Amino acid sequence: MGRLFGTDGVRGLANGDLLTPELALSVAVAAARVLVETDSSHQPLAIVGRDPRASGEMLEAAVVAGLTSAGANVVRVGVLPTPAVAYLVGQTNADLGVMLSASHNPMPDNGIKLFAAGGAKLPDDLEAKIEQAVADGHGLVGRPTGAAIGRVHDLLDGAEHYIKHLIEATPHPLAGLKVVVDCANGAASDVAPVAYREAGAEVIAIHAEPDGLNINEECGSTHLDKVREAVLAEGADLGLAHDGDADRCLAVTAAGDVVDGDQIMAILALAMRDAGTLTDNTLVATVMSNLGLRIAMKQSGIRLLETKVGDRYVLEELQNGDYALGGEQSGHIVMPAYATTGDGVLTGLHLMAQIAASGKSLADLAAVVHKLPQVLINVRVGDREAGAAAPTVQAAVALAENELGETGRVLLRPSGTEPLVRVMVEAATEDKARSVAERIADEVRAASPA
């Protein structure tokens, strides 16, 4: 069996070659078994949630069967955002959390995300043990019987507990703000409008009628045209857009201009710096964040720490340094004081709280970051490592970096999953960024032809 877990759990076409009910059951059995081996002093408790996509019903049944067959008790929380499931794992002192979601992916996909006790993502060693247990088929022998089989209960007020937590975490009331929220017909559809209203905002919700088939369909954080149109039509102060499991948040201004994760992080970092809550005046972001964010943070006296691409690497750096804020350009933003994973609704609340507290518009606040044009070229190669490391390619990168100086940058990285080398260039103009990127891409193609 190949690598099962990616950077954010197991993901694929639901009921396709990988993500079958049989696999979901096996992962659940393995997770429960590993937890029992790690701590055999009590019967494990698992929280299971999902987003509203239709295949979640099927996979939930398989996961619950797997967990209980391995002796774990299960609390089903139904359709809730990923960060809500993580929060409830901590609040109930559960040993494990399982979220069934493919986040921003199209409806036919689904995924299995696992959380450890406390609501944090599983450490690498536990994930590796679970993956090995699935490969070995350990769930087929030694199953409990009789009273040792796990039991299943439903938590009917999980959303209310989570919303109460969100309101308590909001630093300033939102009275006077009018917001359009695009719920992506996903897990935020019930929670986000209620949370924003209870915090004091006037809320217009769109794409908040999930039917199991329309999640992320031309809506949400990957399709911003509809929320932009609604903001302009309604005369709203801003718009917010979530993805299918609501762990992301992007925004648009009253004029319909997009505010991405880099700009949101800058706004929150400055607010936290001024409030004295930004640990060591440090923000954690990935190497894909725009150079404009780096420049803005340097000018504001805030240190920017870079990680590899992927929210798990941001989380690791946040934990290692006990830092207070981190995230990605995609709008996946983590505030460890309030959440153990990215939380799109929490992000929206804090962003609006800063608008309300400062009296400034979102456009004014976002202007702290002057985004440089960014061009990304994915080059198909025969050998991605050789293509990226070739002396001719490295020489081209060095020449480009010298040419751009402090007005741009080059990021060259092999894909982790495909035969691609990703060439990303930022420069003062898009034409300059594109010409430099194409020049480097040509060297990559020559070094390792597809």
Supply the residues annotated as catalytic.
103
Rg of the chain in Å (alpha carbons): 23
Please state the separation of Cα 199 from the chain's center in Å.
Answer: 23
User: Do the strands 45-50 and 96-100 form a parallel or antiparallel pair, or are they unpaired?
Assistant: parallel
Contact indicator for 189, 212 with CB cutoff of 8 Å: no
396 contacts 443 by C-beta, under 8 angstroms: yes
DSSP string over 48-103: EEE-S-THHHHHHHHHHHHHHHTT-EEEEEEE--HHHHHHHHHHTT-SEEEEE--T
3-state secondary structure of 108: coil
Instruction: Name the strands in the sheet holding 420-426, side by side, starting at the edge strand that comes first in the sequence.
Output: 374-380, 420-426, 409-414
Q: Which two tokens stand for residue 13?
A: 């076409």
300 known member of a binding site:
no
39 is in an annotated binding site: no
Strand order in the sheet with 333-334: 303-307, 282-286, 326-327, 333-334
Q: Which residues pair with 266 in a beta bridge?
A: none
> Rounded distance, CA 222 to CA 245, Å?
13
Query: Cα dist. 375→262, 368, 408, 437, 445 in Å?
Result: 16, 22, 11, 7, 17
Cβ contact 56:29 at 8 Å: no
Per the rule left: phi > 0, alpha: psi between -120 and 50, beta: everything else, 185 is left
Helices and strands: H and E segment counts in the chain: 15, 18
Whether 262 has a binding-site annotation, put simply, is no
DSSP code for 45: E
211 is in an annotated binding site: no
**Residue list for the binding site for Mg(2+):** 103, 243, 245, 247
Known binding residues: 103, 243, 245, 247
